[in-house]
Amino acid sequence: MDLADRVGSDRVFEQLQGDLGGRCDILVNNAGLSGVRPFAESDDALLDQLLGVNFVGAFRLTRRLLPALRVTGHASIVNLGSELALVGQVGYTAYSGTKGAVVSWSRALAVELAPDLIRVNVVCPGPIDTDMLNREFDLLPQPAAARAEEIGTIPLGRLGTAADVAAVVAFLAGDGQHS
């Protein structure tokens, strides 16, 4: 679904509520779009699209599922931010702003929902080897050199993987009971 499409996403949210039977233990807000464009060329359409998916969609889904999260007495929300919410990078001003909103909102939500025993965390991954990142490299004059330069800034000497992020999310979403 397109989280920026409020009418379409409302229909999916309603169906999701019905499918959950009034209870939701874990919510992971992982949808995200990137838009690489210099600030001076960032138009309202780009900002609206990135805000709609990266922040507003997560905000609206969480608000819609809040009653089902409260029922459990131990729910967990994990939001996906980005390292670019915390550090600057040329061409990512709109994206960084939307992911910064996710980080700030997550902090406030964690405090507000703590009395309901709903844990809220935000994960801010660095560069992850995904189709989205690879498309961004492909936009550059020398994609292979740009990829190598990015990897050169990472102490482990490799891009992160979806599995790396999933493991962190699973840990944060879990109930802390490990065998």
Catalytic residues: 95
In sequence order, which ranges of 29-161 are alpha helices (DSSP H)?
Answer: 44-50, 57-72, 93-113, 131-138, 143-152
Q: Cα dihedral angle (10, 97, 167, 66), rounded to 10 degrees? A: -30
Paired sense of beta strands 26-29 and 76-80, if any: parallel
Instruction: Compute how many other C-beta atoms are within 10 angstroms of the C-beta atom of residue 64.
Output: 18
How far, in Å, CA of 60 to CA of 9, rounded? 9
Is the Cβ–Cβ distance between 117 and 74 less than 8 Å? yes
